[in-house]
Every structure is written in C-alpha cells, then in structure tokens.
Amino acid sequence: MLNTNIVNNYFNALGRIITNLGVRQSEIWNCDETGLIFEHCPVRFITERGTYSVVGKTSQKSSNLTIMACVNGAGTAMPRQGKLSGRYMASKPQTHLSARYGRESQQLFDNVPNYKFRNDDLMLCTFAKTGTKWVFEIIMMILNRSAKRIDTNKVTTMLECVTAEETDQQPSPRVVNCHFPPRFLPLAGIKAKQIKTVLCLRNPKDTAVSFYNHMKGFKAYDYDGKWEDWLPVYLQGNLEYMKYSDYLLEWQRELLNGPGFPLHIMFYEDLKMNGREELDKLLKFLDIQLDEQLKNDITDMCGFKKMTEDKAETYEYSKPGFKFFRKGQVGDWRNWFTVAQNEMFDKIWENVTKGLEMFKFKYTHTNDNA
C-alpha cells in the first residue's frame, strides 16, 4: 500500500534540492520508453476441454520496436525516438545530412551547448529551409572580401552535423551555423565572446513547401509521400527540428529578454526582393566596408538564379534530379496549397503562434504583409 508520508517527504526533499541548486524547470528531464513487438499474436486456440492455462505459439522471429520519449518540467517535449533492429531513428533536432544515428548523433546534440568559438567566428541561425545555404554564401563572400564563388559547404561548420574537432579543421573566417532553437544553442559561448549572430527567417508556407521537396530529394529520408499527407505532420511538428512555430516563439522570448549578444534579423523574402538593400544592412551590422563594385558583384553572384546555376552540384546522398536550390520564389506555396489546406494551415498557425508579434512575414512578392 502506498505510504503518502514517505512520498510527500521524498518530493519535499527533492524540491529543496532543486531550489538550492537553482535548477530551472526546463533543465529537469524525464525519459521513458515503451516497446512494441512485430509478431502475430494468436487470439483463439484449440485445446482440450477444461484446460485453463494455454500458451500461444509464435514464430520466434519477432522484431522489437522501442519508442523513447522525453519531456522537461516546463512542458517542452523532445520528439520521439525509435530503435528497430539495432538502428536508431531519431526525430529530435540532429544530423540531417550526415545521417548519423544512435550514440554519435546523441553526442553531437549534447556537445552543441559547449561549443568553443573563435573570436572572429560568426553565427548563422536558421530553421530548416529558410535560407541557410544562401545566407552562408553571402556572409562568406563578405568575410573574404571577394565575390568569388564559395567552395566551402555550410555542413563543414554545421553544429548538428559535425563534431567540434571537425569544425576546428576549417580555417577562419568561419560561419558556424545551426537549425536548433535557442535553448539548444551554445548561447553561453556566443555571449561570452559577443559572437555576431545572424537570424534568417522565412514565411512558414514557403518553408513547408521547400522542406517537403527537401525530404523527397534526400536518400536518407527514404520518403516519397504525398504533399497532402506530409503537410499535417509538418504542422504537428513530428518532423526533424520540430515545430517552426515553437522556433519562432523561442526567438521572440530571447529578444524580449535581451539576447545579450549582437543579433541581426533577416527575412528570406526581403533578401529575395531587395537583395542589395539587405546586403547593405548586413554590412552595417558586421561593420565591414566594401566598395560599390564589390557590393554589386556579390549581389549579382548571390542572386537566386545565379546561385541555382552555379550551385547545381549533386550530392551522393541526394536522389537523381534533386536541386538544393529549387525555386526560391516568394509565394510558391500557392502552387501547392489547396484552398482547404490553406484554410487549415491558417487556423492551426494562428492557434500555435498566439502571442507571436515580433515577426511579420511576406507571403507574396507584392510586399503584402500577412
């Protein structure tokens, strides 16, 4: 029988320890798992009358699927992770290009908050498919004071894809980048060295379309599903990097509380429609002076059409015909969303972004805000 006094004493003592250590609710995590067996389970048996104990026979070749979930005291849940036949299938923010699994992926994730920056590093923060590769190219050209096409792939300094030792092999200047939300970023290091940070955002509808095509194009996802089936899953946050709405809300909280480091916010749509103006703003933030000719050359070289032509390389981990720079259009979502899907998206998005007032997105090329 449960002894309530013992239970109450336990939790009271635990509460005092948590208070004395200054542990926040968001730092307390609980992990649990459950298992499923892939095996036919007989429901009816033929046996002698009067038999009370019957053992069902199986093939002895069943497979076990272990589902693991984790949630903290503030109510933030890590996406579920599964293990089937010795292989981990993790949906938490992790390596999306290197296709690393299990312990190695967990180590990458755990080590991100402790990342050691160089004094001349820059940090690029983006949600998946909101312009990472594009802005990376622009910043690298600025840092190199040259409009020459960049050979370095952003993955070489992408915190969820490579180890700190691997990023250390990259020469300065480096643009360290990550898709993780603020709570998983190396904020202590960013603040300590006052690392200049660029946050690039994109309207959620075009982001969804780009993400869908990205998943269909990369072998690691092994995905060839339909758009209408994929969209609800995206809205539920049951994909890599979780909900875009949560990502935005977290950044809003950081800004309202004062980030404690130099931060510049860019929007994909503004960069697409007013590239030169956005370049000037970025240069001012970085406190870098370039002559007019070089500014024009960088603007030209980083125009989306030019990027599509020059960056048409294929990857060993992509399917035939896949283009990393697909369209880059503001408003391409209209070619994908049905009226019903758009209404569903708007209703859900309004509900999950209550209180989000800091970021105003453009959904068409006519500069209409929505």
Which CATH number characterizes residue 162's domain? 3.40.50.300
Q: Which pLDDT score is estimated for 307?
A: 77
CB 22 within 8 A of CB 47: no
CB 131 within 8 A of CB 214: no
In a domain, 129, yes or no: yes
Query: Does residue 347 come out as left (phi exceeding 0), alpha (psi in the -120 to 50 range) or beta?
Result: alpha
Number of domains in the chain: 1
In a domain, 328, yes or no: yes
Task: List the strands of the sheet with 196-201, edge to edge.
Answer: 175-178, 122-126, 196-201, 263-267
In a domain, 178, yes or no: yes
Token pair of 52 as six digits: 């009370």
In a domain, 302, yes or no: yes
In a domain, 288, yes or no: yes
CB 186 within 8 A of CB 113: yes
In a domain, 39, yes or no: no
Which residues constitute the domain of residue 133?
109-352
Q: Which of 193, 198, 204, 206 is nearest to 178 (CA)?
A: 198
Amino acid at 331: G
pLDDT tens for the chain, 370 residues long, are 668 777 667 777 776 776 666 665 556 767 766 655 444 444 454 555 654 444 444 444 444 556 666 666 645 555 555 544 444 344 444 344 444 445 677 888 899 999 999 999 999 999 999 999 999 999 999 999 999 998 888 999 999 999 999 999 999 999 999 999 999 999 999 999 999 999 999 999 999 999 999 888 877 788 889 999 999 999 999 888 889 999 999 999 999 999 999 999 999 999 999 999 999 999 999 999 999 999 999 999 998 778 777 665 555 666 666 666 667 789 999 999 999 999 999 999 999 999 999 999 999 986 444 3
In a domain, 23, yes or no: no
pTM check: above 0.85? no
In a domain, 16, yes or no: no
